[in-house]
Structure 1
Amino acid sequence: MLRLLISVALVYAGASAAGGAAAKDPWPEGGRLGVYMCPQDSVVDGCDGGAATPEMVRAVRRVLEADPRLADLTYSSPADMVADATRLMEENRSNAEPLYDQAELAEMGLTEDDLKPEEAGMGGMFTATIARTADLAAVEADYPGYPDSPELVGSWGASVTPKPYWADKGEVVVRMCGERVEYSSYTCAGGRGAATAAELAAVEKVLRGIDGGVVYPVSRAFTLWIESRGDVRESFGKPLDPPSSEVTEAHYGEMFVVDPPGTPDPALLDRLIRMPGVLGVH
């Protein structure tokens, strides 16, 4: 289950359509600010007083609402966060290898229920749209997170994320099995390795059979580039740290991003998750 949540983040980090779309299409404008409020159970600096109080939440809301660079401000309560995490786990069809097997859980004195998200371990979260890419660096500098942002009292951190490359390009993501590499979130259960060329071709054939759909084949190389060097913040003078030499293409699997003409057919999604070589469908 936890592996599933980690993988969802990777899905929307971006990828390449046939290795060339990223070079042709403009990167989406803008991004998102997230401000994370203190949960009840936390050992994070700045959360010594426990969960953020309603007064703290209102104070942070006033600060963010007054910022003209931000729009579409929303707040998710701890209960909302648990509901969203549970929904994501239920909606994502996955053949991922469990993060822990039963023996490992027993050794740690845990059960699968102990891994489920709980309100006590989740703080509320503010999210806001940053309309202009040109404002991302300044917003990030202005909201480094409490205690460096004293106006954000009751929060333990803040983050600025450029709008993902695939935003508004597709509704369905099919992730294929990757190689069995330590720390990879593309590892399929059952001891199998990466999806074969034949398995990739079979899945792509099904996707291209969607009448009116647009299919973007995703390369592992571009996913690695997105994760290590592809952050749009490089374009306005804030280079990323050098990519880790320990992370390679082997840590990822191919993907397909699909823009169907209407609401995705649940029967199609069920068919895809049963196809050999498929890790997950979202």
Structure 2
Amino acid sequence: MSEGQTFYLLITLFYLSSCIKSAAPGGIAIKKNLLKGWSIRQPMATLAGVGKSLYLAPLSPWPGAILLSSSCAKQSAKITRASAWRLLRLTHRATTHLRFISLLIFALFFAVIPYIYYLDGDSIRTRLVIGYAFFLILYASLCFFCIHRRFVPKRKAERIKHLLLNIISPWSAMRCSDDILMQGKLQAIHPLTMASLCKDSERTAYLGQALRDSIYRKEPQFTLEEVKSTLAVSGIKQSDLTKPPVLESDDSSQYCPCCLTTFSAGTAYCEECDHVPLKSFRDPEQQAS
């Protein structure tokens, strides 16, 4: 393997590692798609030993984006849904230009420079393209510094550290907007509030599970009052989230009221939900509803 191949292998590995984000279990990650709005990102792994959940950010710096809300956010003063939505839009728009510059750096290092080098070798044109790539790295680093100072002005030491890291590390410059999107006030948004900003289907599914957990689990992540408050602001009826699941098979006669998994006769508890007692589809209360 040549020195150039080794260099690109290292850049690729470092870049992929920078796409993996960690958060404490109980938090939530949402991602922005170009046309589909915000959606909930499920963790790709949970490291119980160190108390971290791992999330994979969009591999391209633009147009996708990812935000993390820490589980400890629920211990802080709760940001209202309207304020959270304004803050989310403001931060996302403020980093749009930076993420586009990061995309150009990404394209230069992983597509343009290898192609030019393949055609011309160590020529003047190759050196000019490399020089332009490092100019964009410097420009992105300065943009990061200004935006970071705008949103988290008190974190001067952290800002200078990331500035220097972005200048000397191409893979860091490609993901520098993540350091703005995943800190400050955005990370202090309550996970339930963050989920309420996503598209309807995912918002309803997340809040529905949170509601049922708060009713049936012994140690739920959120209190029933927290969930009810978020449902009221989101305009979702509690009764719509506690309905029994659709009976898909005649073999299923029971269901778990917490996770809505169906069961056949002979099972009394759902082991996945702290041994919640199962309910029957033939329950008179269910038939009446």
TM-score, normalised by the number of residues in structure 2: 0.25
TM-score, normalised by the number of residues in structure 1: 0.25
Q: Which has the higher contact order (CA 8 A, sep 6+)?
A: 1
For the pair shown, which has the larger CA radius of gyration, 1 or 2? 2
> Which has the larger helix fraction?
2
